[in-house]
Amino acid sequence: MVSWKGLLRALDVNWGWLFLRVCVGLAIISLLFLSQRFWFRALWRMTAGWGTKALRIAARLLYLSALILVILATYDGLRMGHGRIIPRGTMITALAGLWYFSALLSYVAVKFVHGFDRIWQFAKRLLKRNVPAVASSVSANPDVVANPSRRYFFQTATAAAGAAPFLSAVYGFAAERLNYQFRYVEIPLANLPRQLDGMKIAQISDIHLSGYMPRSQVRRAVDMANELDADLAVVTGDFITGAGDPIEDCIDEVRCLQAPLGVWGCNGNHEIYAGVEAEAKRLFARNGMRLLRSESAQLQFRGASFNLIGVDYQRERTPSGRRVQMLAGVGSLVRKDMPNILLSHNPNSFNRAAELGIELSLAGHTHGGQVQVEILDHRLSPARFITDYVAGLYSRPLFEPARSQASGHFISAAALRRPASALYVNRGLGTVGAPVRLGVPPEITLITLRSA
């Protein structure tokens, strides 16, 4: 008879990991529900004072209809394009992301102000209880009890806290999301031949061609990348978002990238979700480019060689939560006689890449968090929940065991003086979820290799 413990071992399920995922999922769903209920009740209270019954009913029905469309658009998004209820090409999906993002942040901001108000009142009652002289003074002056200035202050603060996320979301959607910027970075590499010193690599990532990333915007990014006059062009995954997105259109624009050493790429996680990993490789080849899937190619520049390696999106865990070895099988692709450059969409493969002796990894995936705020000299980003490597340049000692504590950190190029492996995380062009960028504009990168 099979014991329960033996059955669990046979299933190879990490129950702690699954429990954590369930808890996080329930927390997110609860917050979304509470925020939607908050705004639903706010609308009901606001319209209750309207004199015309027909106008009240119309406003409420309009809100309910919009909410149903938002829910359906969200369901379509979760299916990653595998069948759609709402036709593609509408702005409903974008508006759904904007609504969830701004409504949730507004709800949290308003509740924070309300909480601060309660703490203020509690502190006042505590002070009155502990200081009799103050209590007698307050009781003798009823105006102090009412304290209209406090009431007006918190009413104004509540209104500002509720409005700010909506205004920020509109700005992030209409302006910063389309504010493509160049980023220039020099990366000293260990064992770099002098002929490769000064070689330039143009990197774009996370295009996410979709309803709110039109083909014209991809063309604009490609034209900007061509202005950099790079020697090598790379695209590090996530060409599209879901199965219904036209990957042919995206790659048809990518093929216009110009570089003497060619255009190279790797698959991201959204190619896996959409089931187009093989199709992406075929389209690359048809257009004179090459997408590497656990493959390598030796390229020459000014008479010196380097080894370019590419992999599909690297999972850290199976769906059941079991950890897996990243970059499995890549060790045989690493060359000892020339520098190695890895294209890997997920930056978390960097620890293993450094252990294998890969001098430079180029990644994307994080979008820099899409939203970033700076508080007390600390940059806060949602991407911190999934990686230590959010955006920019990082280093790690070559051949350091991947299982050791992560030592990657944001660095300047001048800090790379010892033999090290370097990682650059591109902030990407597109968005997922909410079509918003705040503090993290889209990025087109020019990387210049330097001898360490």
Q: Can you spell out the DSSP letters for 28-80?
A: HHHHHHHHHHHHHHHHHHHHHT-S-HHHHHHHHHHHHHHHHHHHHHHHHHHTT
Specify the residue for token string 């939203």.
371
From CA 366, how far away is CA 369, in angstroms rounded? 6
From CA 176, how far away is CA 435, in angstroms rounded? 10
Q: What is the pLDDT of residue 406?
A: 44
Instruction: Find the farthest-apart pair of alpha carbons in the chain and give their distance in angstroms, rounded.
Output: 91
> Which residues is 184 bridged to in the sheet?
446
Judged against a pLDDT cut of 90, whether residue 417 lies above it is answered with: no
* Cα distances (Å, whole numbers) of residue 352 to 29, 302, 317, 396, 412: 34, 30, 14, 10, 22
Residues 127 and 263 in one domain: no
Q: Tokens in use for 44?
A: 């009901």
Specify the residue for token string 């102090």.
144
Whether residue 119 lies inside any domain: the answer is yes
Whether residue 2 lies inside any domain: the answer is no
Q: How confident is the model at residue 414 (pLDDT cuts 50, 70, 90)?
A: very low
pTM for this one?
0.82
Residues 344 and 242 in one domain: yes
**Which of 94-98, 173-177, 377-381 is predicted least confidently?**
377-381
pLDDT, tens digit, 9 for 90 and up, residues 131-177? 665 555 545 554 444 567 777 787 888 888 888 888 888 888 889 99
**The total number of structural domains that make up the chain:** 2
Judged against a pLDDT cut of 50, whether residue 413 lies above it is answered with: no
Residues 311 and 374 in one domain: yes
From CA 172, how far away is CA 176, in angstroms rounded? 5
The answer to whether 172 and 438 are in contact (CB under 8 A) is yes
Instruction: Collapse the DSSP code of 223 into the 3-class scheme (helix H, G, I; strand E, B; otherwise coil) and give the result.
Output: helix
Whether residue 376 lies inside any domain: the answer is yes
Residues 153 and 40 in one domain: yes
Q: Which residues constitute the domain of residue 86?
A: 16-174
Check residue 292 and report its DSSP letter: -
Q: What is the pLDDT of residue 242?
A: 86
Provide DSSP, 80-103: TTSS-SSPTT-SHHHHHHHHHHHH
From CA 116, how far away is CA 415, in angstroms rounded? 43
Residues 129 and 222 in one domain: no
From CA 17, how far away is CA 30, in angstroms rounded? 20
> Which residues is 443 bridged to in the sheet?
181
Q: How confident is the model at residue 88 (pLDDT cuts 50, 70, 90)?
A: low
**Residues near 449 by Cβ (< 8 Å), separated by ≥ 6?**
186, 187, 189, 192, 196, 197, 198, 199, 200, 201, 360
Q: Which of 125, 151, 174 is the last residue of a domain?
A: 174
Judged against a pLDDT cut of 50, whether residue 74 lies above it is answered with: yes
Whether residue 337 lies inside any domain: the answer is yes
**Residues near 225 by Cβ (< 8 Å), separated by ≥ 6?**
202, 204, 233, 257, 444
Residues 165 and 200 in one domain: no
pLDDT, tens digit, 9 for 90 and up, residues 212-254? 899 999 999 999 999 999 999 999 999 999 888 999 999 999 9
Instruction: Collapse the DSSP code of 227 into the 3-class scheme (helix H, G, I; strand E, B; otherwise coil) and give the result.
Output: coil
Q: Tokens in use for 450?
A: 């330097």
* Cα distances (Å, whole numbers) of residue 33 to 36, 103, 167: 5, 11, 22
Q: What is the pLDDT of residue 67?
A: 78
Q: What is the pLDDT of residue 12?
A: 54
- Which of 290, 294, 423, 285 is CA-nearest to residue 365? 423
Whether residue 258 lies inside any domain: the answer is yes
Neighbouring CB atoms inside 10 A of 195's CB total 15
Whether residue 11 lies inside any domain: the answer is no
Q: What is the pLDDT of residue 288?
A: 96
Whether residue 403 lies inside any domain: the answer is yes
Residues 131 and 211 in one domain: no
Q: Which of 174, 198, 220 is the last residue of a domain?
A: 174
From CA 91, how far away is CA 97, in angstroms rounded? 10
More confident of the two residues 131 and 256: 256
The answer to whether 401 and 362 are in contact (CB under 8 A) is no
From CA 183, how far away is CA 363, in angstroms rounded? 15
Across residues 54-81, what is the average pLDDT? Answer: 75
Judged against a pLDDT cut of 90, whether residue 197 lies above it is answered with: yes
Q: What is the pLDDT of residue 120?
A: 81
Whether residue 420 lies inside any domain: the answer is yes
Q: Which of 174, 208, 236 is the last residue of a domain?
A: 174
Residues 224 and 164 in one domain: no
Residues 159 and 261 in one domain: no
**Which of 59-73, 143-157, 256-270 is predicted least confidently?**
143-157
- Which of 212, 210, 204, 267 is CA-nearest to residue 232? 204
Residues 143 and 188 in one domain: no
Residues 114 and 202 in one domain: no
Q: Which CATH number do you get for residue 440? A: 3.60.21.10
The answer to whether 74 and 100 are in contact (CB under 8 A) is yes
User: What's the CA angle centered on 250, arms 246 and 251, to 5 degrees?
Assistant: 115
Residues composing the chain: 452
- In the chain, what percentage of residues exceed pLDDT 70? 81
pLDDT, tens digit, 9 for 90 and up, residues 314-366? 998 877 667 888 999 999 999 999 999 999 999 999 999 999 999 999 999 99
Judged against a pLDDT cut of 50, whether residue 407 lies above it is answered with: no
Q: What is the pLDDT of residue 45?
A: 83
Residues 282 and 311 in one domain: yes
Computed over every residue of the chain, the mean pLDDT equals 84
Single-letter amino acid code for the residue at 420 = A
